[in-house]
Amino acid sequence: LHRHREHSANAENLLPEVSNPGHGSSQHGAPTFPVIPEPVHPAPEVVQPAVDAYQAAAEVAHSARTLHQNEVHSPISTGRVFYGIMFDAGSTGSRIHIYKFIQKDPVELPVLDNEIYHAVKPGLSSYKDNPEEGGNTIRQLLKIAKKAIPKEAWSRTPVVLKATAGLRMLPEEKANALLKEVQEVLDDSPFFVREDGVSIMNGANEGVLAWVTVNFLTGHLYSNTRKTVGILDLGGGSTQITFLPKSKKTIETAPVTYISNFDLFNHTYKVYTHSYLGNGLYAARLAILGAKDANDVEDRVFTSSCFPKKYRGEVTIFGTTYKVSGIPDGYAGYKLCYYEVMKVIKGIVHQPYEVKGNSIFYAFSYYFDRANDTGLIDDRGGVLEVRDFKKRAKEVCNKMTKYGAINPFLCMDMTYITCLLKEGFGFKDSTVLQLTKKVNNVETSWALGATFDYFRNLNI
């Protein structure tokens, strides 16, 4: 299954920069890049700089050779246009984001010109027993980058792959085999590859970088309004919540690891962020069904009152196929399904003090997809309240014959989303959610934020 879109981004989406006095003295023969002054932006909600710029845990990188054999310098732009390639290796699919940046004036920041996005299914973790085939999916996506980026820019265009919950949940040996295979695929490409170019992303970083992407694209990091928006990302294997607290009590009552400091746009931000591994939509399905750690999956049928009573079927999750069914001599519906779902949320998800207020959150990934599947929003997205998910979940579960034809898991998924928002995070019924797949024609995900961060590390 392939999805392909090319976006033309809002010209105001500027790439963050850091000062780089060293470029003027690059080695002989290496391309030079115009020195760009530090940006000066109004601070939305700035806290005092922390001792550690970024307290999130280090990512797990697969070591490989630092550069291609023919590379002797960092990939720095010689002209007006430069590119970056970011792979999002998710639990249910692999996506390539190809960003084009334009340096319009040597004394101004570059602008994000457009994004090319393409996705394939399933995710890398489904190839846990066949790493070479997993590597082939990345190789196919690289062909799109070769078509999109001029040949003369290949050697100075960085390519990065970050894997998320799908690989985090695999045994270390299988995850490393996939990383090694992917590293070899990237090394064989004509693009610039650094030794930390393939890694399993730390979950906290996933939330922070998605927050950066959304607030950058919505203009909140540049505005004088002193407002930012929170983000809710529901993937297949994990889910993230990130927001900039307005109340000291939110920080004081949060587990210490849920508060992260990071530097961006010459400011230090202190955000509440956490990634719940195992609480993504597909991982939650396994937990609700009691199939999460089951060994005898071939001989078992996993039942749930979230399915129509007479339903029988099979589902493949993270590369393993499970037999599932309703409860023929039992009951089905929203209340019973909610009870089942509660068991995988209650006591696991922390309720931040502040979300009981009136903050606005952008929700994407499976929040968007399921709202779209059930008619709450169209393909353009829209604004919902938490109560809208609850109301539609009840309707889906109590009219399973109608909605079951769309997807037999709709009742379970919608009930899980409702329970996660209300019982998990503690949102009020009236909390406003902005459901979106893209902002200013750029995909809402952590990928753009990660590209910014990577360019900073390369001092571009």
Q: Is the pTM of this model over 0.75?
A: yes
Per-residue pLDDT at 225:
57
Per-residue pLDDT at 294:
82
Q: Supply the mean pLDDT for the chain.
A: 81
The string of DSSP codes covering 311-370 is -EEEEEETTEEEEEE--TTS--SHHHHHHHHHTTTTTTS---GGGGS---EEEEEHHHHH
Q: Nearest-CA neighbor of 401 among 411, 414, 416?
A: 411
Per-residue pLDDT at 305:
95
Is the pLDDT confidence value at 379 over 60?
yes
The answer to the question of whether 240 is labelled as a binding residue is yes
The Cα-based distances of 165 to 101, 175, 288 in angstroms read 29, 11, 18
CA angle, residues 428, 234, 251, in degrees to nearest 5 = 55
What is the per-residue pLDDT across 14-62, written as a single tens digit (0 to 9) for each? 443 333 333 333 333 333 333 323 333 333 333 333 333 333 333 444 4
Cα–Cα dist 78/294, whole Å: 55
The answer to the question of whether 351 is labelled as a binding residue is no
The string of DSSP codes covering 253-271 is HS-GGGEEEEEETTEEEEE
The answer to the question of whether 236 is labelled as a binding residue is yes
Strand ranges (E), 186-296 = 198-200, 230-234, 238-243, 259-264, 267-277
What is the per-residue pLDDT across 258-305, written as a single tens digit (0 to 9) for each? 999 988 766 788 999 999 999 999 999 999 999 988 888 888 999 999
Q: Which residues are catalytic?
A: 206
Please, which pLDDT band fits residue 109 given cuts at 50, 70 and 90?
low
What's the token pair of residue 12?
A: 């105001």
The answer to the question of whether 280 is labelled as a binding residue is no
Is the pLDDT confidence value at 101 over 90?
no
Q: Nearest-CA neighbor of 166 among 126, 204, 219?
A: 126
Is the pLDDT confidence value at 342 over 50?
yes
Per-residue pLDDT at 23:
34
Per-residue pLDDT at 460:
45
Per-residue pLDDT at 349:
94
Per-residue pLDDT at 403:
76
Per-residue pLDDT at 357:
63
The answer to the question of whether 238 is labelled as a binding residue is yes
Please, which pLDDT band fits residue 330 given cuts at 50, 70 and 90?
confident
Per-residue pLDDT at 71:
35
The domains found in the chain, sorted by start residue, are 80-201 (3.30.420.40), 204-281+340-442 (3.30.420.150)
Is the pLDDT confidence value at 339 over 80?
yes
What is the per-residue pLDDT across 180-189, written as a single tens digit (0 to 9) for each? 999 999 999 9
Winning range, highest mean pLDDT, from 182-191, 199-208, 320-329 = 182-191
